[in-house]
Structure 1
Amino acid sequence: MQIFRRKDKRAHLARIEQEFLELKRVRGPGPFSPSTTPRPQNSPAALQKLDPTLTRPLPPAFAQNSPPTAPFPALPYQPPAQPVFSTPQEIEIPENVLFCEEKSVESVALTPQMIRELYLEYVRHYHPILPIVDVLKGPERIHRLCPALFWVMMFVALRRYDDEDKSLLLRLLPLVKNILAEISISPITRYNPTEDDEPILNACSVFSTQAFILYSLWPPLTSSLSADSSWVTIGTALFQGIRIGLHSAGQHSQENSVSAAMTQEQVKTWIQCNIVSENIATAFGFPAFVQFDFALAQKCDLLVLTRHSMEIAHFEDQVAKTLTMGANTETGLTHINERIALVKVLLKQLDDLEIRLNLESSHEDGHRRLHYLVARIHLLTCYFLDAPSIPSFELSKGLVKLFNASIALTQHVDACETKARDFVRYLPVVSVLHIWQASCIICRLANSPLKSVIDVEQAKSVYLTAIKLVAKASVLKHDIAYRASGIMRNMWQLFRQLDEKKMSHLSLKVKSRMTALVFFDCLALLRDKVGMAKLNINTDLRENEAGLNEDANSVEDSDASESSEEDAPQESGPGESEKTTPGSNGSSNRVHKRRRLSAVQDAESKARRIIRTIPLDPQPIAALGRSSIFKVVNHSTNLLPGLSTRTDESRVSPRGATVSPQVPRYPNPGPGNMAVPVLSGQGPYSASDTLATLELNLFDMNNDLLWKDVDSLMNDFGFHV
């Protein structure tokens, strides 16, 4: 046995020697030189031959954990550059694609030149924010595929278009509502629409779903959140998408290139629908209509920024389902330590997501970073849910993080506005609401027991910046942004007074609004305080009726006097702006406003008249005596003092849009009347106000507009008077 083992060992050594000699013969004579020695896989030269996308430098956190010694010199570490803000590259649309014949819907007609200008307006300013429409098709092809999408694009482009009185925007609004209502209630379903099909307004297809998504991000101008239709319309978009099979678009086989292109369109639309639905739902504090499918997303050639937005939206959905849905119930999260632990886990997940997104994209248009900061704010808002039960140190640490995230969001939007100059002008309404909500958090925490550990002066400065940004976002007088800027001017002092009286606290009464609970709790508190100081519920009924009768006769005179006083900048001091916000500017303006209020004989009746007026909200529709409810246009004399219905003649709208005799129109200027609605930049909350001179120590409890704005915003949200 031993002899056999020795023979086997000798044979094995002989084979090794033979293989070694064969290897020397292949390599050639001479010793191995250093230049021919195979390099290890982690050497610099080997790394240079790899795919550049696989050789990105490691983040600092990973680089610090590397071994202190290495057999070869390591590459010098270069930290990943932060995404550089850059405006999206302008899409070049050929002139032949821009050509479009005259289009009309009922009483509104658009000339080819008007369509061209509006289409370019949409491509330059709105398409980069939501790249859902294939704009290279051109307006003519889009109209053949889906007239509803065409008119919604025109409607969105008119928001900031050079239309002096916004009359075309207001006239097109009820017509677009009519079209979308028909698609919602009685659609004609087209699963694979083509340009050969007859263009019909009530066709339900992938393109009509795109129209609903656009309509949700840039909804009609309203004066209150209760009248905002964003959450409802994006839900309709998602349900319509399910109806035509967008949620399973990639599951059927693609027979030809046409089917493949339609599948790409359907998958892209479905993903954008989920993103917008999550963004809007979290802003309003409602459950979201979402159904994320990352396997489906792999079948579509998505833009990098779109995929990043999808991942952030999916993270927000996780936050809502993990921490908010079912809280304080028998099956929900009731243990404080468990909630805090989950918040920390999700924060780590969000940090990792930010690192990865920054490595994958070196350019930033501002909107992706905005979504990321909003997600961080929504997650940290969970510290308010059980503030009285959380340990003091843990609560302070979490709320300071929330404060810093709110500061970062406002500063980010301000930086984007400084670089792009028109960043805020074209922001979706839901993004403006995010800025407002962040300012409420800043105001709440800066005037709370937490003020000893935060920078109150920085908070005040950033809060002023938020007022300026929200005011710039206003499109028309009395819209949500316009009224929000006025409410924000009074909110700071309210919480400062509560803090001085030792009445400020971190617990919330409103806990049904999910991630928007801080915002709605601040509005509820402001409404209660202003309501107790302003409105006397037990007012004599006889006095009330007299005030109503007087309002009917004096509304034009009062509006005319107010407009004449506002349009007299030469009488103001050198340090004052031409337009003033009631109860928000310097001392001379304060005296001026008080003198006007003291001259009113029946201030309470006038206040009630203002409260009852919500200019841009839908008007009540009578059950009898009206042939078409969709031709109703809000012609409140308080919004448009000179607005009336004239049926004797028709006139041509700016740049080719015509109006039928049945459509309400504006009369010529006359005594006591204004010919056009007051635009956003011309009102007392305009962005041109000298906000640096704003005195936050002023809190006007007698401000008529303040009570009206807060009450109308809170109405229909569970806070009825």
Structure 2
Amino acid sequence: MSSQVTPTVPTARAEPREGEPTKQPRRRACNECKQQKLRCDLVAGDSAPSTCSRCQRLSLACKVDTDFRRTRKRRKSFELENEVRELRRQLATRETTNAALEWPILTPTAPSEARISEAAVSSVSGASGVSPDPKESSRVPGLTTQPVIDQPQAPRRSIITIPRARKLGNVELSVEEIDELYLIYILHYHPYLPFLDPSTSLHEYYESSELLFWSIISVAARRLQSHPTLLPKLARSVTDYLWKTLRAIPYSLRAVQSLVILCTWPFPTSSSTADPTYMLAGMMVQIGTQMGLHRALNAEDFVKVPLHLSVYEYSEWVKTWEACNIVAQSVSVGCGLPATIQMHDWSLTVAPESTMSSPHDIALRWHLRIEQFRYRVSQALTSNALDPAGFMSARERLSLYRLLNASLVDLEREAINMTPITRYYLAAARLHLHSFYLFDEPSVDGYSDRIVVLYQTAYSLIEQCLEMDNQESGFFHYCPFFCYQVFVSAAFIILKVMMNGYFEKLLDIEAGKRLLDAAISSLRKMSVANNDLPGRLSDVIGFFCTLPDPRVISGDSVDDLRLRVRNRLSMSIVYDSLWEWRKHFQSDGGDNENSEETQDNRYSVLKTCKMP
């Protein structure tokens, strides 16, 4: 080497003068040591050697990158500029939000800290809302052995929501239209099943669940005269969105509430076999049970993260579970099928005081008690394993009739000061019980008396519905779909008993005909769309009323009143009458029936009244 390198040995430095601060030498790593991530003993100073011991030992060029500091300073400056730019953007967004706070916001009745939090929803659903994309939300078990750990709870959102226009598919609604539709729902539909909080704005519901938002809009649009094409458009878009939501798991409380609404007021259909309401009601109950709605006090047992429900949240869970039970039982009775839920759930027997703070809460609890009674009727009368249809023996049925009628009288006595809607539900429960009289054998004692009682019960229910519709509420326009099913059952009971050759001598036939005419008009008022089930069933009843021989549907003697359809519970009368209607068009006997004019008339009727 040309230059002699002095070993790096610490040398003595001059002592600092008194009062002068001591300067320590600055240590820096050379390029070679920095690259190998080794400790470097190079000391930067005037009197310090310019080579570290490692470079001297290995005969390496000991240099220090003087541009390193400049590069780090430039990087920090660039990061600082980005931070300032982001802060300016956030400030502009905050100013825009503050400017929008002049919109009117509904003040909730419950404290803000008691509102349904995003944490409570995400703890059950696994996200702040139901994702419409199943790829993002669903978890397929068995693909990995790594356990799935839920994400921690998200912070609570503010209850302040900015109203804005919403769009789904080819439907777009302005803020004014949304507010108008929500007002229609609260005024006309909510009283029949008051499980939602009216003080929560529809815009707040949108933030937590788009499906619940559009479900409420769909119900409110059923009678919207200013926009007659809105319901058909929503029927396609909301149904697609519903199935997309049900494919994405896990679910949220809002998804269950959406199913409650869509099962209570389903989209119009022209065939009962194409109606998915019964299946959706079963899914609603299963989802609610999986979430732990039936054990709201111990909801944490059904999730993977800590979940502590506030008083408001607990009340909403309880009312939603009550609504699930009500709708599931009502849909089952209306379809004439077994119940999709066990109504003897002990969590529904005692009402917590915190969940009955308003008249709507009391009405909801009364509706639940009535549906529990209807469930008890079905279970008590159809639990015989030795009978093909499950009916108890004649002697046992007579005893059960007396007990169940006594329970119903006690229930009606308690509800003497209830609302007209609650009294209607009681009338529907009485009709459900008395409809089982049609399954008795005519030879059993008191059969004729029980049939007359059934006729009077159906007559009274139709009169009550007509009276309710004459009021401002407009019963036939806004009632749930299972109310229509009970109403049409009462109409067929009037038709079948009144047309029987034996009972026509005991009844006021003229009054019965006038009532049937009113029932036909009422069913057409219930009709929401062209050729839907209420409209088509009104045509079927009208068809029987105009037959030359009125005894076609029920025969001449008391024995002819027996039903051929026996497995549809209290709705068997409807399905039995529809079989008679189809049988009439399928028969080919008689010269008059084979005439060309008669065949043309049959074809035209069948074309307008397809098989329900």
Amino acid at match of 1:96: I
Q: Which residue of the partner structure matches residue 550 of structure 2? A: 496
Larger Rg: 2
Q: Which residue of the partner structure matches residue 512 of structure 1? A: 567
User: Structure 2: how far apart are the matches of 1:344 and 1:451?
Assistant: 27
Shift in CA distance, 346/108, structure 1 to aligned 2, threshold 3 Å: same
SS at 1:223 equivalent: coil
Shift in CA distance, 285/328, structure 1 to aligned 2, threshold 3 Å: farther
Q: Which residue of the partner structure matches residue 476 of structure 2? A: 424
Asked if 1:178 corresponds to 2:225, the answer is no
> Do the aligned residues in 2 keep the contact of 1:100 with 1:140 (CA within 8 Å)?
yes
Q: Which residue of the partner structure matches residue 148 of structure 1? A: 211
Amino acid at match of 1:506: L
1:115 corresponds to which of 162, 173, 178:
178
SS at 1:136 equivalent: coil
> Do the aligned residues in 2 keep the contact of 1:526 with 1:710 (CA within 8 Å)?
no
1:288 corresponds to which of 336, 339, 343:
339
Q: How far apart are residue 338 of structure 1 and its match?
A: 1.0
Query: TM-score normalized by structure 2?
Result: 0.67
User: Structure 2: how far apart are the matches of 1:522 and 1:175?
Assistant: 35
Q: Which residue of the partner structure matches residue 415 of structure 1? A: 467
Asked if 1:339 corresponds to 2:397, the answer is yes
> Do the aligned residues in 2 keep the contact of 1:387 with 1:506 (CA within 8 Å)?
no
1:401 corresponds to which of 453, 458, 465:
453
Asked if 1:251 corresponds to 2:314, the answer is no
User: Structure 2: how far apart are the matches of 1:326 and 1:145?
Assistant: 47
User: Structure 1: how far apart are the matches of 2:413 and 2:273?
Assistant: 38
Which structure 2 residues correspond to residues 640-719 of structure 1 after superposition, within 5 A?
702-704=601-603, 706-708=605-607, 711-713=610-612
How big is the alpha-carbon RMSD for the aligned residues of Structure 1 and Structure 2? Answer: 2.9
Q: Which residue of the partner structure matches residue 649 of structure 1? A: none
Asked if 1:324 corresponds to 2:379, the answer is no
> Do the aligned residues in 2 keep the contact of 1:152 with 1:176 (CA within 8 Å)?
yes
User: Structure 2: how far apart are the matches of 1:277 and 1:377?
Assistant: 18
User: Structure 2: how far apart are the matches of 1:387 and 1:369?
Assistant: 31
Q: How far apart are residue 410 of structure 1 and its match?
A: 0.3
> Do the aligned residues in 2 keep the contact of 1:275 with 1:313 (CA within 8 Å)?
yes
User: Structure 1: how far apart are the matches of 2:385 and 2:508?
Assistant: 32
Q: How far apart are residue 247 of structure 1 and its match?
A: 1.2
Q: Which residue of the partner structure matches residue 536 of structure 2? A: 483
User: Structure 2: how far apart are the matches of 1:479 and 1:409?
Assistant: 23
Shift in CA distance, 209/534, structure 1 to aligned 2, threshold 3 Å: farther
Q: Which residue of the partner structure matches residue 101 of structure 1? A: 164
2:433 corresponds to which of 370, 379, 386:
379
Q: How far apart are residue 241 of structure 1 and its match?
A: 0.6
SS at 1:347 equivalent: helix
Which structure 2 residues correspond to residues 521-532 of structure 1 after superposition, within 5 A?
521-532=576-587
Shift in CA distance, 513/710, structure 1 to aligned 2, threshold 3 Å: farther
SS at 1:137 equivalent: coil
Shift in CA distance, 327/377, structure 1 to aligned 2, threshold 3 Å: farther
SS at 1:406 equivalent: helix
Q: How far apart are residue 223 of structure 1 and its match?
A: 1.1
Q: Which residue of the partner structure matches residue 310 of structure 1? A: 368
User: Structure 1: how far apart are the matches of 2:166 and 2:554?
Assistant: 61
Asked if 1:221 corresponds to 2:300, the answer is no
Asked if 1:446 corresponds to 2:501, the answer is no
Aligned residues, how many? 440
Q: How far apart are residue 177 of structure 1 and its match?
A: 1.1
- Where structure 2 has 5 or more consecutive residues not aligned to the other structure, the ranges are 1-102, 107-160
Which structure 2 residues correspond to residues 624-635 of structure 1 after superposition, within 5 A?
none
User: Structure 1: how far apart are the matches of 2:586 and 2:290?
Assistant: 46
Shift in CA distance, 373/331, structure 1 to aligned 2, threshold 3 Å: closer
Shift in CA distance, 232/708, structure 1 to aligned 2, threshold 3 Å: farther
Q: How far apart are residue 257 of structure 1 and its match?
A: 8.2
User: Structure 2: how far apart are the matches of 1:227 and 1:534?
Assistant: 32
User: Structure 2: how far apart are the matches of 1:330 and 1:170?
Assistant: 42
User: Structure 1: how far apart are the matches of 2:229 and 2:553?
Assistant: 46
Q: How far apart are residue 106 of structure 1 and its match?
A: 3.4
> Do the aligned residues in 2 keep the contact of 1:280 with 1:430 (CA within 8 Å)?
yes
User: Structure 2: how far apart are the matches of 1:316 and 1:163?
Assistant: 39
Q: Which residue of the partner structure matches residue 13 of structure 2? A: none
SS at 2:415 equivalent: helix
Amino acid at match of 2:332: A
Asked if 1:240 corresponds to 2:287, the answer is yes
Q: How far apart are residue 252 of structure 1 and its match?
A: 4.9
Shift in CA distance, 367/533, structure 1 to aligned 2, threshold 3 Å: farther
